[in-house]
């Protein structure tokens, strides 16, 4: 991303956190969670959702959902 906006990764990280109040990593996790919830609510399989969210495994998806929403993919409708 830093190359795309023509700045160092350190400077991008610093400016992003200053502007948004969260780190780039936390923002990416939020985007992944939002997309995963949307895809799961459409009835997609957990493996498909994990792949579409840029995760390497369904375990990563389960861990993110549990960490951020306190639920697992099987009971995501309670979010």
Entry pTM: 0.75
pLDDT by residue for the chain (79 residues), tens digit each?
A: 888 989 999 999 999 999 999 999 999 999 999 999 899 888 899 999 999 999 999 999 989 888 877 666 655 543 4
Q: Is residue 37 part of a domain?
A: yes
User: Which CATH number covers residue 66?
Assistant: 1.10.10.60
pLDDT computed for residue 43 by the predictor: 87
Query: Whole-angstrom Cα distance, residue 23 to residue 12?
Result: 10
Q: Is residue 65 part of a domain?
A: yes
Please count the structural domains in the chain.
1
Per-residue HEC secondary structure of 7-73 comes to CCHHHHHHHHHHHHCCCHHHHHHHHHHHHHHHHHHCCCCHHHHHHHCCCCCHHHHHHHHHHHHCCCH
Angle at 11 between CA 7 and CA 12, to 5 degrees: 70
């Amino acid at each position: 991303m830093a190359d795309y906006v023509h700045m160092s990764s350190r400077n991008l990280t610093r400016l992003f956190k200053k502007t948004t109040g969260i780190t780039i990593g936390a923002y990416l996790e939020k985007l992944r969670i939002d997309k995963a919830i949307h895809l799961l609510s459409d009835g997609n399989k957990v493996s498909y959702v994990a792949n579409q969210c840029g995760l390497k495994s369904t375990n990563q998806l389960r861990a993110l959902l549990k960490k951020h929403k306190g639920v697992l993919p099987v009971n995501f409708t309670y979010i």
